[in-house]
Amino acid sequence: MQFPTRVLISVSFLISLLVFSSFSFCSAQDYIIGGGGGGDDDDEAKPAAPPPEQNNCNGIFLSYTFISREKELPRLKNATAQSWAFKSEALILNAGSTELKAWKMFIGFHHREILVSAAGAVVMDGSDFPVDVGNGTTLAGYPMTDLKTSIETAGDINQIQATVELTGTQFGIKPPGVPMPKTIRLANDGFKCPAPRRRGKRTMHVCCKKDPKFKVKAPKKTRFFPRQNGDLSLTYDIMQAYGNNYLAQVTIDNNNPLGRLDHWNLTWEWMRGEFIQSMRGAYTHTRDLSQCIYGPAGQYYQDFDFSQAMSCDKRPVIADLPADRKDDDKVGKLPYCCRNGSLLPTLMDESKARSIFQLQVYKLPPDMNRTALNPPQKWKISGILNPKYVCAAPIRVEPTEFPDPSGLQATSTAIASWQIVCNITRPKVKQSKCCVSFSAYYNDSVIPCNTCACGCDNTDTDTCNPNAHAMLLPPEALLVPFVNRTAKARAWAKIKHYPNPKKMPCPDNCGVSLNWHINSDYTNGWTARLTLFNWEDYPFEDWFTAIQLNKAGRGYENVYSFNGTRLPNIKNTIFLQGLPGLTYLMGEVNGTNPRSDPRVPGKQQSVISFTKKGLRDIDILGGDGFPIKVFFNGEECALPKEIPTASSGHHSRHGFMLLIFILALTFAFITDRFH
Ligand SMILES: *[C@@H]1O[C@H](CO)[C@@H](O)[C@H](O)[C@H]1NC(C)=O
Ligand SMILES: *[C@@H]1O[C@H](CO)[C@@H](O)[C@H](O)[C@H]1NC(C)=O
Ligand SMILES: *[C@@H]1O[C@H](CO)[C@@H](O)[C@H](O)[C@H]1NC(C)=O
Ligand SMILES: *[C@@H]1O[C@H](CO)[C@@H](O)[C@H](O)[C@H]1NC(C)=O
Ligand SMILES: *[C@@H]1O[C@H](CO)[C@@H](O)[C@H](O)[C@H]1NC(C)=O
Ligand SMILES: *[C@@H]1O[C@H](CO)[C@@H](O)[C@H](O)[C@H]1NC(C)=O
Ligand SMILES: *[C@@H]1O[C@H](CO)[C@@H](O)[C@H](O)[C@H]1NC(C)=O
Ligand SMILES: *[C@@H]1O[C@H](CO)[C@@H](O)[C@H](O)[C@H]1NC(C)=O
Ligand SMILES: *[C@@H]1O[C@H](CO)[C@@H](O)[C@H](O)[C@H]1NC(C)=O
Ligand SMILES: *[C@@H]1O[C@H](CO)[C@@H](O)[C@H](O)[C@H]1NC(C)=O
C-alpha cells in the first residue's frame, strides 16, 4: 500500500520541479525583455527614479533598488569569499484605496548578507544590527508603520510611501554581476504577490493585491490592527499620559499549552531617549544612571533627581520581583506580579500564565506632548532552560479594556495599546537545552544523548570528538555524570565488541536529560518508564514534561508517580507534572562520600501504561513506542538518532505472529479438552 503512494509523491514532486524550473525560465525571459532598455551595467550609483510600473499598480507597490557597493577588507583573490559593503533601497507605496496597517516586507536575500542598518524599518524578529539575513528577512516599518491612501491624504507621497535605506555586507558575485535578492513581497496577511519583475539589473518590483479569498476572522470594525495569535503575547498599554511622562503597563500572556518561562528577563530598546523613573511589579537588573546624567536626559531635565530613577539604560533588562515583594506598598500590590519570573502553561495554573508590571516613563523632546507616545522596540524575552522566543515588532492595536477596579459594571480603556507577539523557535541542532536517551527491555545497551546535544562551546574539543556518535552505555552509567562514564563506556564497548575510539565522543552538556525506557510489550498493551535527571546545581520548581508519540500515544492509560494529562490540542501528546509535594526536580548534589562517589543528579521516575486497544498494526519494538518529540519545561529536547534494536530472537513480526498462533492453538487445545 505504501509503495504506490511514495511513487505518486515522487512523481508529483518531479512535476512540480518541472513546473518550477519552467517558471524560473519564464522569469529569466522577463528580465531580458524588461532589461532591454536598461543597459545600466556600470557599478556607479544612480539616483532612484520612481519606476513607471507603479502607476499601473492599484494595490501595494514594492520595489528594491541596488544602489552601490564597495570592496571591503580583507581583499581576497577568491571571489566567492570577498566581502562587499552594499547600499540599497527598498520602497513600499500604498497605491490602493485602503490603508495598509503595520506594513511588513519580505526581502529574499541570498548572498550571505549581513544587514548593518535599515533606516525606516526594523527587522521583524527584533534582532540587533548587525543581523545575519542570508536566508531572507522581514522588515516592519518604523517609525512609519502605516501607509495611508492617496485618497485620504490628497496624494501626499510622504504619508503613502515609506523608503528603507539598507546598508550591509554581502559576499561573492563579481562585478558586473549585481547581487539582487531572490524575491520581494508584502508579508501582511490577506495580500497576494506575483513573482517580482526586474527592470534593468538593479531594480525589482512587484505589485501586491488584496487576496479576495482571504477571510478576516470576526470582521469587527476597528481603527487598529487586529490582535494576533502567537505563543506569547505582550501588550504595552498606556494607562496615564502627561506632558513629559506616561505610565505604561506590560502584560505577558502565555498562550502556548507548552510555553513556559522561569526567571524571565525582558529587554527592549528605547528609540527616543526615554528613561524609566519607577517600576511596580518588576525591577531592572542594571541602573547605570550616568547614561541619564551625561546624556540628553540630563541636559533637558536639569534639576531632576536622577538618583531615584529606576534605569537609564537604552536597553534595560527587566525581571519579575520575587514573591516576598508581592504586598510591598511601593513596588508590589499588582495582580499577576511577583512570582520571581515564572510563567506557566494554563493547564498547570491559569493564574500563573500571566505576568504584569508597570513603569513610569519620561520622554525627551520632541515628544513633550501628551499624545506623542512611542513604544520601545526590539523586544526580547528569555528564561533559564526554556524555549527560545522570537518577538515581532510592536503593532498598534485596539486599546485594551480593563474591568473597573471599583467593581462597578464599567470598563476603563487604555489610552493606547501595542501588542508584541513572540513565537517559539525550535532549537537548532546542538543548541538544545535538554536531551533524551533511549533504552528497552530487549536490548541491554542504552542509546545515550547525542554528542554535544546542548552545544560544545565550553568543551575542549581537542580532548574529545564533537562529531562522533555517542558510545552505547550500560544502563547504570546513566546515573553518573558524563565525566565519570568514560571507564564504563570503554569497558562496555570491549565486552560487547562495539567500536572503542581513541578519542572519546564529547559530552551532551545538557542541564536536564530524560530516559525513555520500553519496559514491557504484551498483546493488549505496553509500558514505558520515564526518568528525569537534573544535572544543574539548582532545582526546577513546578517542572513539567510533554511526550509526543505517534499513533501509540492514543493508547495512553495511566501514569503512576506523576500527574499525567492527555493534551487536548496537540496530537498524541501526554503532559506530565509532579504530584503535589513532588513538584521539585532537585539539583545535582555531592555523592555520599565525595572523595570516592561521583556527584548525584536530581531524579524523578514513573512507569506509564498504554493500551493497544483500537490500534491495529502497532509495532512497539519497531519504534512506535519511542517518542517523536519530548519537551521539558517547554523546551524541545534533542532525541537520539537511533532506537534500540532487538536481536533477531526478539524482533521478528513473523516470530511474534507464530507465538500468537501457538498460544491460540494451545488455548484451543486446552478449551477443547474441557468440553
Ligand atoms: C573560496 O571561498 C569559498 C567560501 O569561503 C570556499 O568555499 C571556496 O573553497 C574557496 N575557493 C578557493 C579556490 O579557495
Ligand atoms: C539559513 O538556512 C540554512 C539552511 O536551512 C541554515 O543552515 C542556516 O543556519 C540559516 N541561516 C540563518 C541565519 O538562519
Ligand atoms: C506566530 O505564530 C502564529 C501562529 O501560531 C502566526 O499566526 C503568527 O504570524 C506568528 N508570528 C510571527 C511573528 O511569526
Ligand atoms: C528568584 O530568582 C533568582 C534568579 O532569578 C534566584 O536566584 C532566587 O533564588 C529566586 N528566589 C526565590 C525566593 O525563589
Ligand atoms: C493533575 O493536573 C491537572 C491539570 O493541571 C489538575 O487539574 C489536577 O488537579 C492534578 N491532579 C492532582 C492529583 O494533582
Ligand atoms: C501634540 O501633538 C499632536 C500630534 O502629534 C498635535 O496635533 C498637537 O498640536 C500637539 N500639541 C501640542 C501642545 O504641541
Ligand atoms: C537575566 O539577566 C541577568 C543580568 O543580566 C543575568 O544575570 C541572568 O542570568 C539573566 N537570566 C536569564 C534567565 O537570562
Ligand atoms: C561537595 O564536594 C566538594 C569537594 O568534592 C566540596 O568542596 C563541596 O563543599 C561539597 N558540597 C557540599 C554541599 O557538600
Ligand atoms: C568524576 O569525575 C570528576 C571530574 O573528572 C573527578 O574529579 C571525580 O574524581 C570523578 N569521580 C569518580 C568517583 O570517579
Ligand atoms: C541494541 O541496539 C543497538 C542500537 O540499535 C544495536 O547496535 C545493538 O546491536 C543492539 N544490541 C542487541 C544485543 O541487540
pLDDT tens profile 403-453: 776 666 667 889 999 999 999 999 999 999 999 999 999 999 999 999 999
Residue nearest atom 4 of ligand 1, based on CA coordinates: 81
Span from the CA of 540 to the centroid of ligand 8 (angstroms) = 21
Query: Which residues is 39 bridged to in the sheet?
Result: none
Tell me how far apart the alpha carbons of residues 514 and 604 are, in angstroms, rounded to a whole number. 10
Sheet-wide strand order for 282-284: 282-284, 317-320, 265-269, 377-382
Span from the CA of 108 to the centroid of ligand 10 (angstroms) = 45
Q: Is 594 near ligand 8, meaning CB less than 6 Å away? A: yes
- pLDDT score, position 172: 85
Q: Is 550 near ligand 9, meaning CB less than 6 Å away? A: no
Please name the residue that has the C-alpha cell 501626499. Answer: 156
Span from the CA of 337 to the centroid of ligand 7 (angstroms) = 18
Tell me how far apart the alpha carbons of residues 116 and 634 are, in angstroms, rounded to a whole number. 33
Mean pLDDT (whole number) for 580-591: 93
Q: Which residues in 83-102 are b (16+ Cβ under 10 Å) and which e? A: bbebbbbbbbbbbbeebbbb
Task: Quickly count: other Cβ atoms within 10 Å of residue 42's Cβ.
Answer: 10
Q: Which ligand 5 atom minimizes the distance to the CA of 563? A: 1
Tell me how far apart the alpha carbons of residues 20 and 12 are, in angstroms, rounded to a whole number. 12
In three-state secondary structure terms, 417 is strand
Query: Which residues is 135 bridged to in the sheet?
Result: none
Q: 156: burial class by Cβ within 10 Å (0-12, 13-18, 19+)?
A: exposed
Q: Dig out the grid coordinates for 286 from the structure.
A: 542594571
Mean pLDDT (whole number) for 449-461: 91
Tell me how far apart the alpha carbons of residues 118 and 268 are, in angstroms, rounded to a whole number. 18
Residue nearest atom 11 of ligand 2, based on CA coordinates: 135
For residue 163, give the nearest of 47, 255, 276 by alpha carbon: 47
Write the DSSP symbol of residue 262.
S
Q: Which ligand 7 atom minimizes the distance to the CA of 263? A: 13
Residue nearest atom 9 of ligand 10, based on CA coordinates: 645
Q: Dig out the grid coordinates for 198 from the structure.
A: 526586474
Q: Is 429 near ligand 2, meaning CB less than 6 Å away? A: no
Span from the CA of 484 to the centroid of ligand 9 (angstroms) = 6
Any residues with Cβ below 6 Å from ligand 3, and which? 228-230, 392, 421, 423
pLDDT tens profile 277-336: 999 999 999 888 888 888 888 888 988 888 889 999 999 999 999 999 999 989 988 999
Q: Which ligand 1 atom minimizes the distance to the CA of 78? A: 1
Residue nearest atom 10 of ligand 8, based on CA coordinates: 590
Residue nearest atom 14 of ligand 1, based on CA coordinates: 78
Q: Residue 458: pLDDT band by 50, 70, 90 thresholds? A: confident
Any residues with Cβ below 6 Å from ligand 4, and which? 263, 322, 340-341
Task: Quickly count: other Cβ atoms within 10 Å of residue 82's Cβ.
Answer: 17
Q: Minimum-distance ligand to the CA of 231?
A: 3
Q: Is 484 near ligand 9, meaning CB less than 6 Å away? A: yes
Span from the CA of 340 to the centroid of ligand 4 (angstroms) = 6
Q: Which amino acid is at 543?
A: W
Mean pLDDT (whole number) for 517-531: 94
User: Left (φ > 0), alpha (ψ -120 to 50) or beta: where does 81 sit?
Assistant: alpha
Q: Is 134 near ligand 8, meaning CB less than 6 Å away? A: no
| Chain centroid to CA 594 | 40
Q: Dig out the grid coordinates for 111 from the structure.
A: 548572498
Q: Is 134 near ligand 2, meaning CB less than 6 Å away? A: yes
Task: Quickly count: other Cβ atoms within 10 Å of residue 349's Cβ.
Answer: 11
Global pTM reads 0.74
pLDDT tens profile 602-653: 999 999 999 999 888 889 888 899 999 999 999 999 999 999 998 765 544 4
Q: Minimum-distance ligand to the CA of 373?
A: 6
Q: Minimum-distance ligand to the CA of 80?
A: 1
